[in-house]
Amino acid sequence: MCGIVGFTGRRAAEPILLAGLRRLEYRGYDSAGVATIDSESRLVVRKRAGRVAALEELLSQSPAAGECGISHTRWATHGPANDLNAHPHIGGAGRVAVAHNGVIENHAQLRDELTRLGYVFQSQTDTEVIAHLIAQELKKDLDLFSAVRAILPRLEGTYGLAVVAPCEPGVLIGARMGSPLVVGLGDGEHFLASDSSAIAPHTQSVAYLQDGEVVRLTADEFNLEHLERGSIVPRVDRIDWKPDDRELGGVPHYMLKEIYEQPNTVRDACRGRIRRGEATAQFGGLNLTAAKLRRVRRIVFAACGTSLHAAKIGEYLIERCARIPVEVEYAGEFRYSNAPLDDRTLVFVLSQSGETADTLGALREARRRGHPTLAIVNTVGSTIAREADGGIYLHAGTEIGVAGTKSFAAQVVVLSLLAIYLGRLRHMSFTAGLEAIDAIESAPEPLQKTLAIEPLVVAAAERIANSKSVLFLGRDVHHPVALEGALKLKEISYIHAEGYPASEMKHGPIALVDPETPCVVVAPRGPLHAKTMSNIEELKARRGVIVAVGTEGDRELERRADVFLPIPDVPEIIQPLVAVVPLQLLAYHVALLLGRDIDKPRNLAKSVTVE
- Which residues bind to ligand F6R, rule: CB under 6 A? 304-307, 351-353, 356, 359, 403-404, 487, 491, 607-608
Q: Which is nearer to ligand F6R, 476 or 484 (CB)?
A: 484
Contacts of 576 (CB under 8 A, 6+ apart): 313, 412, 477, 478, 480, 481
At closest approach, how far in Å is the CB of 104 from ligand F6R? Answer: 22
At closest approach, how far in Å is the CB of 359 from ligand F6R? Answer: 5
Residue positions annotated with a catalytic role: 2, 606
At closest approach, how far in Å is the CB of 412 from ligand F6R? Answer: 13
Residue 376's CB: how many other CB atoms inside 10 A?
29
Contact between 251 and 405 (Cβ < 8 Å): no
Q: Which is nearer to ligand F6R, 196 or 306 (CB)?
A: 306
Residues β-bridged to residue 585: none
Contacts of 89 (CB under 8 A, 6+ apart): 97, 98, 99, 100, 122, 123, 125, 127, 128, 130, 131
Q: Which is nearer to ligand F6R, 147 or 608 (CB)?
A: 608
Q: Determine the distance from the C-alpha atom of residue 254 to the mean position of all C-alpha atoms in its chain, rounded to a whole number.
A: 15
The C-alpha atoms of residue 489 and residue 493 are separated, in whole angstroms, by: 6
User: Three-state secondary structure along 350-380?
Assistant: EECCCCCHHHHHHHHHHHHCCCCEEEEECCC
Encode 573-606: b = buried (16+ Cβ within 10 Å), e = exposed. bbbbbbbbbbbbbbbbbbbbeeebebbbbeebbb
At closest approach, how far in Å is the CB of 81 from ligand F6R? Answer: 20
The C-alpha atoms of residue 192 and residue 207 are separated, in whole angstroms, by: 10
Closest residue by beta carbon to ligand F6R:
305
At closest approach, how far in Å is the CB of 361 from ligand F6R? Answer: 11
At closest approach, how far in Å is the CB of 26 from ligand F6R? Answer: 11
At closest approach, how far in Å is the CB of 608 from ligand F6R? Answer: 5
SS3 for 155? coil
Q: Which is nearer to ligand F6R, 36 or 411 (CB)?
A: 411
Q: Which is nearer to ligand F6R, 208 or 588 (CB)?
A: 588
Q: Which is nearer to ligand F6R, 182 or 394 (CB)?
A: 394
Residue 460's CB: how many other CB atoms inside 10 A?
26
Helix boundaries (H) for 248-329: 254-260, 262-270, 290-294, 305-322
At closest approach, how far in Å is the CB of 355 from ligand F6R? Answer: 7
- Please classify residue 147 by burial: count the beta carbons closer than 10 Å to its beta carbon, then call 0-12 exposed, 13-18 middle and 19+ buried: buried
DSSP code of 269?
A: H
Contact between 563 and 589 (Cβ < 8 Å): no
SS3 for 462? helix
| Overall size of the chain counted in residues | 611
Percent helix, strand and coil across the chain, each rounded to 5?
A: 40, 20, 35
Q: Which is nearer to ligand F6R, 279 or 520 (CB)?
A: 520
At closest approach, how far in Å is the CB of 23 from ligand F6R? Answer: 17
The C-alpha atoms of residue 196 and residue 212 are separated, in whole angstroms, by: 19
Q: Which is nearer to ligand F6R, 385 or 439 (CB)?
A: 385
Contact between 587 and 9 (Cβ < 8 Å): no
Q: Which is nearer to ligand F6R, 198 or 403 (CB)?
A: 403
Contact between 104 and 164 (Cβ < 8 Å): no
